Structure 1
Amino acid sequence: MIHLNQPNKTQLDALINHRQPDWQQQHNQEKSYKEQRHRFMLKRLRLQTLIMLLAGVTIIAYFLWTNPYPEGKMQALKIGFIVEIFILICGILCKTSIGYRFPDLIFLSLCWSVTCAVQIDIALIFNNLEPRIGLWSLMFLTQATIMPVLWRMHLISQVGTIICYLLLFTIYRPILEYPINFYIEQGLYLFWTCAICVISVFLYEQLKKQEFKASKELEIAQQQSEKLLLNIFPEVIAEQLKQQHTTIANSFHEVTVLFADIVGFTELSSRISPAILVELLNKIFCLFDELAERHGVEKIKTIGDAYMAVAGLPNYHDDHAIAIANMALDMQNALTQFNQSNNQYFRIRIGISTGPVVAGVIGLKKFAYDLWGDTVNTASRMESHGIAGSIQVCQTTYALLQDKYLLEERGMIQVKGKGEMMTYLLKGNRGEGNRQ
């Protein structure tokens, strides 16, 4: 009976490295957007503070120039000084931890320091309650232009200004200088100024959210494509593919190639369902993939139930034969453990050969990184002419491994397309004894 453990993660999950759920991605994007908007607000608040200070200086200078009375000049200077000090305090707070934590409050403070504070000061000093609609509109337009985020804060600042004036009007009950139609007209202009500011900020922020989301989705897609590319090609080859459109082909003087075939798997395919068969094969090859990564070996491809890997390319290292030998021995052990866990009796036949190869990328739509040369053919023959449950190596590989590994001479065998060849069976590491 075939017994399967809990299903492995799918190949796609492995390729894109555990893709986050949609709700979590959306939460992360919202958090990232708010952080970006927070930094944007602090920068723009500092800019707005500087502009308001400069604008205040020009307005104070105008009133000093146009007011013919010394007392009036002093009172105008007093109001301007109070407002400028208030704006300067807001600007200083922008650079502190308070400003970093409460930028919304500084935003409202900057607005009301010009609209409400000026209105209150004029009422107290001059006993004048004419609505300063021109000044209010300038303030609202300035904030909507310089800081087109947080439309609710814009609305609150506008409503707060109107409420402040209505409270002053209720307390003082002044006699207005102009007919009621004048104030209705000014109020209509103010209403549409406020409405346009809030709507424009709302639309701008929605657009920025969409742009931010699109850029994040593009970034995630690029990261996933990068991971996908790195799972298909070695990192060096992936970089070459991104940077050049010419044929990628390289010669390597000496590498070690491994072919492995699961004995009995083809026969099993006639007795079990395709889904279970593929799941078994996937679990086995996932184990081999982990071993390849651990030993610094490049997986080249799988062909049915055969597995091909190479050490020593694309980045050359002189212990390529050792890396392949260690991987081959670990593949035997991994399959033994797999059989015990899944109530199976698979055996693996492995062939290894060392020598020169040519490696490159072929294909038009479905690219593949592959190897060519006599070394590849010899490794394939070492596997196909090998013994089930054994690792067969050629004479060249034997010469590189004989000092560190236990190898048994198999003798001369007839190899298709090669004639007679001396072969050896890799039994284990000398330091560990026989690993089988």
Structure 2
Amino acid sequence: MSLPRLQFPWRQKLRALIVRPQESAFADYGAWSQFFFKKRLILGLSLALTYFTAISGVIAWAIYTGHQTNLFQLAYHVLTAIIMAVALWAVRRSRKPWHLTLSFFILCWGISIVTNFPRGWDDVIKPDYKAWTFGFFSIAAIIPFHWPFHLISHLGAYIYYFLINYYLGNLLIPEDTDPFTFFFDLAWLSALPVFAVHLYEELSKLEFTTRRALREEKQRSEQLLLDILPVAIAHRLRNERTTIADGFEDVTVLFADLVGFTEFSQELTPHRVVTLLNDIFSRFDRLTRTYQLEKIKTIGDAYMVVGGVPDPCPDHAQRVAAIALAMQQEIEQFNQSSPSPLKMRIGIHTGPVVAGVIGLHKFAYDLWGDTVNTASRMESHGLPGKIQISQQTYSQIKNIYTCQPRGYIHVKGKGEMFTYWLLEPSGFLEAI
């Protein structure tokens, strides 16, 4: 039996300051880097505040126990801690960029200059390579953004060093140090952390753009998958490695065919043919979303729709009947702007089907079963401008739609079947 893992709130807060934010929540790299800069600045100020508070306590204890009597050293450490606290408060409460910039320099100079301040008070100030190195690289590691800020903070520490020595009348360059070596050391001492910050920024920018490009490409791929497959099936296809196959006991299938379009298209250019079909079928696609049905596929100039798959619904027959009437209206509207009017033949049947995804490449979600074949026969044995439905579909919509008996017809592969013409709704179409 494993013990429950203890949760510490401070761990979550620290992780939030350290972990890089997701690029998807930001408009561009500038906004992302500014947000991360603020997070890391809060971390740096918090650490500096902790340090100066702790060292103030150590000095105060030393004074209290008689080991030290330098009240000035205690005062400037306490003052530095107060300034760090104010800067931290300003960063947390404000979103103004100049507040962040000022707080950054307070942090940097609080670390690099304060350590040299008591030496200047004692008229002794020497190059503090150890403190500078530790300070410069620490800030670069904690806040690796905006390399010009880092360079300015380094120059500020150097300017402070030269001004104090000039004011005190000391040598600007130590006697035991060659001038070339002295300035060379200062240059490299500043160049290395600044270059590290610059390199980090460039890598971060490259990572940001790469991640964003990958995310956008993933979204396009997912959207393409959703355009090809039903949403529920697309999710299952991503999460399951087994064959997707489901049985549905009661669904309604519709086939629609543009009568005479093959002969009509022979007089048109290929571009015009595709443009016309795209216009018509795009109208039908919008209708499938309106009536919450599933488009299965197009076969040449034929269009296949199903209700009750993959998400079962009790009113699938009514919805399919509604879209059939709406498709006729769309064809009528299309004909008003077309020099060559088109007519559509529609067939509908209700019954059980098997649905699933087949293939390894260019896979598709499809339906199989006698219901599909019968719906296709309802369309092929129908008449232009008519919607022919089977007895099974009629039994589910007869109280909602007006239907006219056609009588018995001979259906290939089925024999004699009694069918109906779907005429008009009596309220359901408007309700949807």
**TM-score bin, normalised by smaller chain:** 0.7 to 0.9
* Residues 120 and 168 in structure 1, CA contact (< 8 A), matched pair in contact too: no
Structure 1 position 73 matched with structure 2 position 81 = no
Residues 1:410 and 2:406 are matched in the alignment: yes
Superposition deviation, residue 169 in structure 1: 4.0
Paired amino acid for 1:102: H
- Partner in structure 1 of residue 418 of structure 2: 422
Does 1:318 pair with 2:314?
A: yes
Q: Figure out how many residues of one structure are paired with residues of the other and give that number.
A: 404
For 1:176 and 1:292, the matched residues in 2 are separated by 82
Would the aligned equivalents of 1:260 and 1:383 in 2 still touch at CA under 8 Å?
Answer: yes
Q: Indicate yes or no: 2:204 matched with 1:208.
A: yes
1:375 paired residue number: 371
Q: Which amino acid aligns with 1:161?
A: A
* Structural mapping, 1:115-130, within 5 Å: 115-117=112-114, 119=116, 122-123=119-120, 125-130=121-126
Residues in 2 aligned to 1:419 and 1:197: alpha-carbon distance in whole angstroms: 87
Match of 1:107 in 2: 104
Q: Which residue of 2 aligns with 1:96?
A: 93
1 CA distance for matches of 2:133 and 2:61? 23
| Secondary structure, aligned partner of 1:349 | strand
SS at match of 1:95: helix
Q: How big is the shift at 1:308?
A: 0.5
CA distance change for structure 1 residues 336 and 187 in 2, over 3 Å: closer, same or farther? Answer: same
- 2:42 is aligned to 46
Give 2:285's aligned amino acid. D
Q: Does 1:305 align with 2:301?
A: yes
Question: How many angstroms does 1:171 deviate by?
Answer: 4.2
Which of 229, 250, 263 is the equivalent residue of 1:233? 229
1:116-195 matches, cutoff 5 A: 116-117=113-114, 119=116, 122-123=119-120, 125-175=121-171, 178-179=174-175, 181=177, 184-195=180-191
CA change 1:201–1:431 in 2 (3 A) is closer
Superposition deviation, residue 181 in structure 1: 2.2
RMSD (CA atoms): 2.9
Distance 1:39 1:413, change over 3 A: same
Offset, 1:156 = 1.4
Per-residue deviation, residues 377-427 of structure 1 (Å, max 9, x unmatched): 111011111100100111111111221111111111111111121111111
Q: How does 1:253-264 map to 2 (within 5 A)?
A: 253-264=249-260
Q: Distance in 2 between matches of 1:127 and 1:63?
A: 24
Cα deviation digits, residues 15-48 of structure 1 (max 9, x gap) = xxxxxxxxxxxx9998443333333323322332
Q: 1:99 to 1:274 in 2, by over 3 A?
A: closer
Residues 359 and 372 of structure 1 are in contact (CA less than 8 Å); yes or no, is this contact kept in structure 2? Answer: yes
Mapped to 1, the partners of 2:370 and 2:173 lie a distance apart of 103
Larger relative contact order, structure 1 or 2 (CA cutoff 8 Å, min sep 6)? 1
Distance 1:167 1:74, change over 3 A: same
Match in the other structure for 1:389: 385
Q: Deviations over 1:54-74 (max 9, x none)?
A: 5444599589979xx999723
Question: Does the CA-based 8 Å contact 1:349-1:388 persist in structure 2?
Answer: yes
Output the CA distance in 1 between the equivalents of 2:344 and 2:230: 26
Q: Does 1:242 align with 2:233?
A: no
Pick aligned residue for 1:285 from 275, 281, 299: 281
Are residues 1:86 and 2:83 paired? Answer: yes
Q: Deviations over 1:315-363 (max 9, x none)?
A: 1111111001000000000011011123330010000011111111111
Q: Specify every segment of 5 or more residues in structure 2 that has no aligned partner in the other structure, as ranges.
A: 1-22
Letter in 1 for 2:358: I
Per-residue deviation at 1:368? 1.0
The 1:275–1:36 alpha-carbon spacing in structure 2 relative to 1, beyond 3 Å, is: same
With structure 2 as the length reference, what TM-score do the two structures score? 0.85
Amino acid of the structure 1 residue aligned with 2:137:
L
SS at 1:344 equivalent: coil
* Aligned partner of residue 337 in structure 2, secondary structure: helix
Q: Deviations over 1:195-254 (max 9, x none)?
A: 110111111111122222222222212222221111111111112111112211111111
Residues 1:307 and 1:71: Cα distance change in structure 2 (over 3 Å): closer
Return the offset for 1:172: 4.2
Q: Retained in 2: the 8 A contact 1:261–1:305?
A: yes
Identity %: 41
